[in-house]
Structure 1
Amino acid sequence: MPGGSQLGRIVITDCRPEVEGGARPARAVPGECFEVSATVFKEGHDVLAAEVVLVGPGPGHGLRAVREQRFRMTERVRGTDRFGAEVRADLEGEWQYRVEAWVDPVGSWLRTAHARLAAGLDGDLPLWEGADLLDRAAEALKEDPEAHAVLAKVADVLRDDRRSWGERISEVLAPAVGAALAAHPLREHPSTGPLLPLRVDRTRALYGSWYEFFPRSEGAVVTGPGPKRSGTLRQAAARLDAIAGMGFDVVYLPPIHPIGSSHRKGPENSLNAEPGDPGSPWAIGSEDGGHDAVHPDLGTLADFRDFVARAESLGLEVAMDFALQCSPDHPWVTEHPEWFRHRFDGSIACAENPPKKYQDIYPIDFDTDPEGILQESLRVLRHWRAQGVRIFRVDNPHTKPLRFWERLIEEVRSEDPGVVFLAEAFTRPAMLQSLARVGFHQSYSYFTWRTGKVELTEYLSELAGLDGSPSADYLRPNLFVNTPDILPGHLQTGGRAAFEIRAVLAATAGPTWGVYSGFELCESVAAWPGSEEYRHSEKYEYRPRDYAGAEDRGESLTPLITRLNRIRRRHPALRQLRNLRFHRTDNDQLLCFSKRLTPAEGEPGGEDLVLVVLNLDPYRAQHGRVRLDMAALGLRPGESFVVDDALSGGTQRWGHVNQVRLDPRSSVAQVLVARRSRA
């Protein structure tokens, strides 16, 4: 072959996970369980064995220390040559993995010996050959005297012609022999597959509960004789206690920068703003500054640092919006006019997303001065990182070049690997997935619009990699139930039950989920029929809310959200993505799925198993049978087990087939925790 063959004596091919043939890293977080698989085969009938070798940083010795972790692979379906193993990396950093395979001469000999015995072809020669193999295996185990003695003894038994064939072979099948050979296998024709990259990010890249709110609405004055007045960061900080109390991990702020006055939008996205109308936070920049400034109505940079410190004291991380666009009044417009697209008449083009038009926003042209734009963007990010921000939600990244994001994220990673970028990429699948491949840690997804049983099963299976989709190797979905831009139709018409359904589904199906404030109050009025815009959209006006009053009146979802986040924190199975499994129901309005996590080797505690049964119909009670895939739950076909409903507090006994009835007037779902799981 030109250039020489790359094949080993044993062929190892189609290794997963891999991204673009290994050109980019697959992704994981510490402790995340995922499968490494490969096709492993060789000519002939030898028994093959394989293992995954993770190569990564050593604990306590800096990134230069390297260590290996090994995970034994098994053939997933007999006769397919497809081997796999569940693996976990335990530290953040840059890892690699490879698959190693070898001929198992003892296993090959045993298979042949059994065949000879079944055919009545006995004789001492095959047994002497087996004894010789065990002698070789024992010779390699002199540093393990106990294992050495076990194998040497069995080799002597195989040579003992006073015993029958069956008796001698049965000694080879003893558990102690199998354990010794498993721990120290005899390897022939060892072969190694390609070395593939694996990037292990911090846990927040995979798991977290997000809450989005506009600081300017907290404490805002919108009625009375005087002018409207913005809330401040100091007033917004008072809201953090309630957000932390609901169990959220991340508080996400839309842009907090100065807002331009040119073409400022009024309420309902009108073209005529009245005095006191705050304008859109995404129309960034004025005479008060640009992307590195705080809107003076909100306070000062010191106030923002105090806000971040208060959040941290409550166990919250602050995520900032990073929106690379400008109002006509942004300093960049006069300092760098070449960064913008000019029309034929010399004017700068405003942003458009037909039928929407944003006269108050100028998009940036990334082809005019890509290096200058990159360096300024890095400067802005460094500025906010210096204020304590390590999570950035990126606005409309799909309208900017992929190579820009690849360079920017890699530059930031080289300075601080713990910075997390969320892509607000409601766009075509190719672009959404490519943004994840070039470095984004999380992505918005199409979950917001998936409501039916079939489409939910298909889409969530794709996200979790159950359908063979490779996207789970690098893409982590953030299951936001609503956003300031998106009030989906099912929330407009389904009443409180629709909000409950989406909260339970997002919080249990995905490791990361999010809500935009007002969700807990079941805000559901659209700007006009058929619109997904909110009436009195907070993007264009202040929206102070009576959270406490709604809770006192029993009109708030705060108790449910709090319970869901508490369940997520108690059950590590819910903090994973790729362990999602669906189960059959005979009612198309009932959805059932499970998440199961077994402890890593040497880890204390039992496995964690959570079952979720959900009524997708917000109007009517639904009942039916749930048929569990017992093997997926690690159970025998006829086994039964006790479950506790983490939502209602009830207890049931479940088995292979179970009757369920869910009425949205009382409970839209059951979140069932198996008793054998961790408390």
Structure 2
Amino acid sequence: MTGRFPIEDVSPVVSCGRYPAKAVVGELVPVSARAYREGHDALGCNVVWLGPDGAARPFTRMRPGEPGQDRWHATIRPDAVGEWRFAVEAFQDPYLTWQNAVTKKLAAGQGPAELANDLAEGARVLTAALDLVPKGDRDRVREAVTTLRDDEVDLPRRVSPALDLADLLWEHPVRELVTTGDERTLWVDRPRALFSAWYEFFPRSEGAVPATVDAPARSGTFATAVDRLPGVAAMGFDVLYLPPIHPIGRVNRKGRNNALTAGPDDVGSPWAIGAAEGGHDAIHPDLGTPEDFRDFVAAAAEQGLEVAMDLALQCAPDHPWVSEHPEWFTTRADGSIAYAENPPKKYQDIYPLNFDNDPEGIRAEVLRVVLHWVGEGIRIFRVDNPHTKPFDFWHWLIAEVKSVDPDVLFLAEAFTRPAIMHGLGKIGFTQSYTYFTWRTTAAEMREYCEELVASADWMRPNFWPNTPDILHSSLQHGGPPMFKIRAVLAALLSPSWGMYAGFELFEHVARPGAEEYLDNEKYELRPRDWDGALAQGRSLAPFIGTLNRVRRDNPALHQLRNLRFHDIDNPALLCWSKHDPDSGNTVIVVCSFDSRTVQWGNTTLDMPALGFDWHERFTVHDELTGTEYDWGQRNAVRLDPYLQPAHVLTVRRPAPPAPAEPEQPAAPDLTVEDVPADLSGGTAPTAPADKDDARWTS
């Protein structure tokens, strides 16, 4: 920083500026700083920012925050992908100084003689402003200068035109003694980096034929998996994530349910990558050819689905890298290559890479593999266990890939310690899996989400109620209502969420003593009767489609920073909202965490967070039922897990008052017989006596 005024505690800044903060195209990014000066003259602050093309954007004026804290705030909206640079500037604002002084002296009754120097100073400042304001406003400024200098005009009319320029000179200030703070960086991704709905399925299960006494099992292919795409698209998902599609090792292959010995029909885990047919840049021959894969990606795009691939940097014992580059692995004392372990778990079918043995060779090969798939049209990678690889490797790899194609996104699958998960976000991972699955009370969820909002400058969450590895006990024992509850929480708390195939069919049977599925699809083919379940009403697909439609239609749900929680007097319920000031769109959600019993609660809404004054009332439309209610700060809710475990309410703002109508003749007196039987007008019925401070909403 160079200049006259201190500028401190700038935000967003990640790790003291070591890494860029994160945003997406079109996102409102809050910028703040602490700045102050000596004496009583007015200080102004603004943000200067440059796009990835190096072109400067018009500076953004900052507004003071809470009085006495010297904190300044603004929002910027980047409009292109790439690295942006910004800095906070502080300056002396002579117009505000003049305005404050003249207003106080007029209020004190001082006359023209006492204000002579102030009038001259005002004319000087406005003359300096002539070249700063838009051409269409310059005549107003000239007139104000002329009037200030006209001693024939009485004092109030003499200063009034100059005082009326306050809004104009706020946007186009005269800046003196400009001090520029340190330059900071902001990496801006495409919008899908923040707002996305993911669906995971195994292509080999779609169209698969299980083994029979007379015939072996037959894997599904990319060609047969195309038939599942319309169903995924109908649920409103926009990212289709595929587990690894590469050849699967035969050495030490695992059998069904992770059995140590595989039978002749066992297909093995896709994460045991590599065999004689090839490695990370190859396609499993049972799935089809590279051309089949391209056709599948194109067919997905026609359905509005972007394909995401798995990037798992590990090898089966028969991966080509093992024979070609044995130095890339860890050799044990007996001369064998170490397989992966997470005691007491053992993964005999997987060899982890040792990045310390030949870091340059491994880096070059991994970059080649990733860019190979980028060349095949893949722009999203879900990265398996990134926390088990060196952080400097990921920092380098992500930067290298983005230098080739800045639209490439990386989702970190890292269920590990918080500092590590946050660290992965800071070094470049676009999104991250989270602890969402294990936050099973309203209080836990609120606290965790507030932590995530506070970390929005570097870590973007992606909420998943299930994965092939994770079947939480709440889904095992909570019944169908819990599936709805967890879907509502995942889809409407976080701008990005995802689910693994089978969730919509309420699959909930776990392997005994484990938090994972029995007959796990990682180790076997799992064809499902999607159409039959839907026709028989045994599918959650329509409900999922509604949630994703609500997400798509409401801009407030596309953001993370705007998540606000509201008080509710029942600990089994959670109430939150998201408000988009640009569109005026507001969504309020009240969700139960109890999948077995009816729950009641009374909300106390933070009305300013919704864009209302404390006393106002408004109409809300329940997107799950189509019902409308009249709401205010305090509202009663009733949630039945089997009928409606959540309210998803879009706010209908009252129309501006209509112009006054001409006075009409008085209406005739009405008798009791003239009054209609129903005067509800579509609002919710009044609460009973024991809830007379609220309204029923269900």
What CA deviation, in whole Å up to 9, does each residue of 1:567-608 have, x standing for no partner? 111111111111111111111112111111122xxxxxx421
The whole-number CA distance in structure 1 between the counterparts of 2:92 and 2:648 is: 46
Contact 1:124–1:161 (CA under 8 A) maintained in structure 2: no
The whole-number CA distance in structure 2 between the counterparts of 1:446 and 1:377 is: 29
Structure 1 residue 103 corresponds to structure 2 residue 98: no
Counterpart secondary structure, 2:396: helix
Counterpart secondary structure, 2:638: strand
**Match of residue 214 from structure 1:** 202
The whole-number CA distance in structure 1 between the counterparts of 2:122 and 2:345 is: 75
Contact 1:484–1:534 (CA under 8 A) maintained in structure 2: yes
The whole-number CA distance in structure 2 between the counterparts of 1:612 and 1:322 is: 35
Identify the match of residue 440 of structure 1 among 429, 451, 469: 429
Q: 1:485 to 1:46 in 2, by over 3 A?
A: same
Q: 1:72 to 1:677 in 2, by over 3 A?
A: farther
**Match of residue 637 from structure 1:** 614
The whole-number CA distance in structure 2 between the counterparts of 1:536 and 1:180 is: 69
Structure 1 residue 32 corresponds to structure 2 residue 48: no
Q: Which amino acid aligns with 1:526?
A: A
1:456 CA drift (Å):
1.0
Within 5 Å, give how 1:189-268 maps onto structure 2: 189-225=177-213, 226-268=215-257
Within 5 Å, give how 1:652-663 maps onto structure 2: 652-663=629-640
Counterpart secondary structure, 1:373: helix
What CA deviation, in whole Å up to 9, does each residue of 1:481-525 have, x standing for no partner? 111111112111211111111111111111110000011111111
Within 5 Å, give how 1:394-473 maps onto structure 2: 394-465=383-454, 471-473=455-457
Within 5 Å, give how 1:254-293 maps onto structure 2: 254-293=243-282
Q: 1:156 to 1:426 in 2, by over 3 A?
A: same
1:611 CA drift (Å):
1.1
**Match of residue 55 from structure 1:** 50
1:136 CA drift (Å):
2.5
Identify the match of residue 173 of structure 2 among 185, 192, 215: 185
The whole-number CA distance in structure 1 between the counterparts of 2:119 and 2:360 is: 68
Counterpart secondary structure, 2:252: coil
Worse overlay, 532-541 or 220-229:
220-229
Q: 1:335 to 1:255 in 2, by over 3 A?
A: same
Identify the match of residue 527 of structure 1 among 503, 511, 514: 511
**Match of residue 150 from structure 1:** 140
Q: Which amino acid aligns with 1:16?
A: S
What CA deviation, in whole Å up to 9, does each residue of 1:151-197 have, x standing for no partner? 444455556778776676665543xx223212321222221111111
Contact 2:34–2:72 (CA under 8 A) maintained in structure 1: yes
Structure 1 residue 85 corresponds to structure 2 residue 74: yes
The whole-number CA distance in structure 2 between the counterparts of 1:548 and 1:575 is: 31
What CA deviation, in whole Å up to 9, does each residue of 1:439-477 have, x standing for no partner? 111111111211212221111111112xxxxx3112111
Worse overlay, 374-383 or 122-131:
122-131
Q: 1:309 to 1:303 in 2, by over 3 A?
A: same
**Match of residue 578 from structure 2:** 595
**Match of residue 569 from structure 1:** 552
The whole-number CA distance in structure 2 between the counterparts of 1:519 and 1:48 is: 57
Contact 1:127–1:158 (CA under 8 A) maintained in structure 2: no
The whole-number CA distance in structure 1 between the counterparts of 2:110 and 2:318 is: 92
What CA deviation, in whole Å up to 9, does each residue of 1:387-445 have, x standing for no partner? 22111111111000011111111111111111111111111112111111111111111
Contact 1:131–1:156 (CA under 8 A) maintained in structure 2: no
Structure 1 residue 646 corresponds to structure 2 residue 634: no
**Match of residue 496 from structure 1:** 480
**Match of residue 468 from structure 1:** none
Q: Which amino acid aligns with 1:240?
A: L
The whole-number CA distance in structure 1 between the counterparts of 2:506 and 2:113 is: 80
1:70 CA drift (Å):
2.4
The whole-number CA distance in structure 1 between the counterparts of 2:370 and 2:41 is: 57
Structure 1 residue 331 corresponds to structure 2 residue 314: no
Contact 2:119–2:149 (CA under 8 A) maintained in structure 1: no
TM-score w.r.t. length of structure 1: 0.92
Worse overlay, 203-212 or 126-135:
126-135
Q: 1:132 to 1:109 in 2, by over 3 A?
A: closer
Contact 1:130–1:155 (CA under 8 A) maintained in structure 2: no
Q: 1:656 to 1:170 in 2, by over 3 A?
A: farther
1:69 CA drift (Å):
3.2
Q: 1:316 to 1:39 in 2, by over 3 A?
A: same
Contact 1:137–1:185 (CA under 8 A) maintained in structure 2: no
Q: Which amino acid aligns with 1:92?
A: V
1:663 CA drift (Å):
0.9
TM-score w.r.t. length of structure 2: 0.90
**Match of residue 308 from structure 2:** 319
The whole-number CA distance in structure 1 between the counterparts of 2:535 and 2:436 is: 31
What CA deviation, in whole Å up to 9, does each residue of 1:604-623 have, x standing for no partner? xx421111111121111111
**Match of residue 602 from structure 1:** none
Q: Which amino acid aligns with 2:461?
A: P
Structure 1 residue 541 corresponds to structure 2 residue 530: no
The whole-number CA distance in structure 2 between the counterparts of 1:88 and 1:472 is: 15
1:119 CA drift (Å):
5.3
Contact 1:33–1:576 (CA under 8 A) maintained in structure 2: no
The whole-number CA distance in structure 2 between the counterparts of 1:246 and 1:19 is: 37
Q: Which amino acid aligns with 2:45?
A: A
Contact 1:612–1:669 (CA under 8 A) maintained in structure 2: yes
Q: 1:81 to 1:127 in 2, by over 3 A?
A: farther
1:125 CA drift (Å):
2.7
1:8 CA drift (Å):
2.4
Structure 1 residue 621 corresponds to structure 2 residue 598: yes
Q: 1:139 to 1:48 in 2, by over 3 A?
A: closer
Q: 1:146 to 1:285 in 2, by over 3 A?
A: closer
Question: Aligned-residue CA RMSD in angstroms?
Answer: 2.1
The whole-number CA distance in structure 1 between the counterparts of 2:130 and 2:177 is: 19
Counterpart secondary structure, 1:658: strand
Within 5 Å, give how 1:343-362 maps onto structure 2: 343-362=332-351
Q: 1:193 to 1:139 in 2, by over 3 A?
A: closer
Contact 1:17–1:36 (CA under 8 A) maintained in structure 2: yes
The whole-number CA distance in structure 2 between the counterparts of 1:516 and 1:395 is: 15
**Match of residue 668 from structure 1:** 645
**Match of residue 695 from structure 2:** none
1:281 CA drift (Å):
0.8
Worse overlay, 243-252 or 144-153:
144-153
**Match of residue 560 from structure 1:** 543
Q: Which amino acid aligns with 1:29?
A: V
Identify the match of residue 385 of structure 1 among 356, 362, 374: 374
Contact 1:328–1:360 (CA under 8 A) maintained in structure 2: yes
Counterpart secondary structure, 1:644: strand
Identical amino acids, percent of aligned pairs? 54
Structure 1 residue 477 corresponds to structure 2 residue 471: no
Structure 1 residue 580 corresponds to structure 2 residue 563: yes
